[in-house]
Amino acid sequence: MLPELQDVYDRVIRRNHGEPEFHQAVREVFESLDPVIEKHPEYREHAIISRIVEPERQIMFRVPWVDDSGSVQVNRGFRVQFNSALGPYKGGLRFHPSVNLGIIKFLGFEQIFKNSLTGRGIGGGKGGSDFDPHGRSDGEIMRFCQAFMSELHRHIGEHTDVPAGDIGVGGREIGYLYGQYKRLTNRAEMGVLTGKGVPWGGSRGRTEATGYGVVIFADRMLQTAGQAMEGQRVVVSGSGNVAIYAVEKAQELGATVVTVSDSSGYVVDEAGIDLELLKQVKEVERGRVSDYVERRPGSRLVQGGRVWDVPCTVALPCATQNELDHHGAEALVKNGVAVVAEGANMPSTPDAVEIFQSSHVLFGPGKAANAGGVATSALEMAQNASREPLTFSEVTSKLEGIMERIHFKCATTAEEYGRPGDYVLGANIAGFRKVADAMLEQGVV
């Protein structure tokens, strides 16, 4: 890393105590930037690097609500409005007990470059709460969402900041959040949130978009090696929205998906995951993958192990940050993995990424490979603005084009900088340059 990048990085560590995930996300981007900074003295002159690591605004707030037993609960809410150079802040809300400011900042920072790669005019932001939805009744979820929006509504808007879902926030939560926003503002301002229900302004295909996009991206990566998804043996981690639709798309393209996972363990299903059963268990019953195994003859549950020990040719980490470490990476490489594409945000640790790259495994970082979700959110915003809904197949064909272009941009940027096949470098540089140029043109703000 150039000394000036190192200086800014050291300062990030000093000024953002106890936020290791944020440090990690910054480092991952900075490690790609030496050649860009050398080539563009104007970035240096206008302190683009120091400015880009500082969120434009960070909001933290109390979320008090009453649970089913009548007790008052207090959670903490966050919204980090990181960068608006390319458009309104855009990014999901995460409800999970692990959420803290550092987690939201890492996600918001990643979102800047991801959103830039989509080519859709959206800035970067992220939010959420340490609220744990697990085991909460529908009424509790609704009251929590209403309490959360009671503060958040002051800070968002279709031209300001447009939240969506992430871990723990799906269609149900977006419904409650939107209802409360509308009640508080007396505005049917549909473009203020994405991931809405289709009858009230949601986009067809938004639910599927992230998972579909990851598989389309992996397919393009395979094509560069003269292969395709068809016939691949795929390991998926996670069993939330991203994982489910990654399984669906991979199967549609003729691959066999043999695993999914959650905190109860991982499923191995050699015959290929039964998608209908998986959807029933996870989406309808909100159950565990252990419930899947109980109802699926021939499948088995492995508790306490690593899904990465299951041999495969394509690995799609779709659960959460830092779920795939160097042990996992070594096991995957040993078993002959050819492509790893990240459905989650930063699921691979830096040493895992290094192992993939030095072993010539094609590695697609989340900010490129999982950008289909937020790109489709941008399509939802466009539909809300024009009041002209798209059909499912219009959305999915646009999604395919977007993923194709992101892949192309990453691949050609990596080539331009003398590192063909390095999607990390390609995604970071292509994502960064667009934001940096916009910041230059907009002056010191």
Q: Which is nearer to ligand GLU, 214 or 436 (CB)?
A: 214
* Residue 399 binding ligand GLU, by CB under 6 A: no
Close Cβ partners of 445 (under 8 Å, ≥ 6 residues apart): none
Candidates 84, 146, 194, 239; binder of ligand GLU (CB under 6 A) is 194
Q: Which is nearer to ligand GLU, 92 or 175 (CB)?
A: 92
Annotated catalytic residue: which of 90, 126, 282, 398? 126
What would the x/- binding string for ligand GLU be over residues 329 to 358, using CB under 6 A? ----------------x-------------
* Residue 289 binding ligand GLU, by CB under 6 A: no
DSSP label of 390: P
DSSP state letters, 202-218:
PPTTHHHHHHHHHHHHH
Q: Does residue 409 have an active-site annotation?
A: no
Interface of this chain with ligand GLU, residues 354 to 393, rule: CB under 6 A: 373-374, 377
* Residue 128 binding ligand GLU, by CB under 6 A: no
Distances (CA, A) of 265 to 56, 169, 242, 268: 39, 22, 17, 10
Q: Which is nearer to ligand GLU, 244 or 293 (CB)?
A: 244
* Residue 166 binding ligand GLU, by CB under 6 A: yes
Distances (CA, A) of 68 to 100, 129, 144, 287: 25, 19, 11, 21
- Give the H or E element holding residue 246: helix 241-252
- Mark the segment that binds ligand GLU (CB under 6 A) among 21-29, 90-98, 219-227, 425-433: 90-98
- Give the H or E element holding residue 233: strand 233-237
Cβ count near 256 (within 10 Å): 17
- Give the H or E element holding residue 193: none
Least distance between ligand GLU and beta carbon 164 (Å): 3
Dihedral Cα 238, 242, 243, 247, nearest 10 deg? 180
Q: Which is nearer to ligand GLU, 211 or 373 (CB)?
A: 373
Candidates 88, 92, 205, 211; binder of ligand GLU (CB under 6 A) is 92
Q: Which is nearer to ligand GLU, 77 or 265 (CB)?
A: 77
Least distance between ligand GLU and beta carbon 165 (Å): 6
CB-based contact 358:330 (threshold 8 Å)? no
Q: Report d(CA 135, CA 141) in Å as an integer.
A: 10
* Residue 156 binding ligand GLU, by CB under 6 A: no
Distances (CA, A) of 39 to 138, 149, 244, 410, 433: 54, 44, 42, 18, 11
Q: Which spans of this chain sit near ligand GLU (rule: CB under 6 A)?
A: 90-92, 164, 166, 194, 345, 373-374, 377
- Active site residue ranges: 126
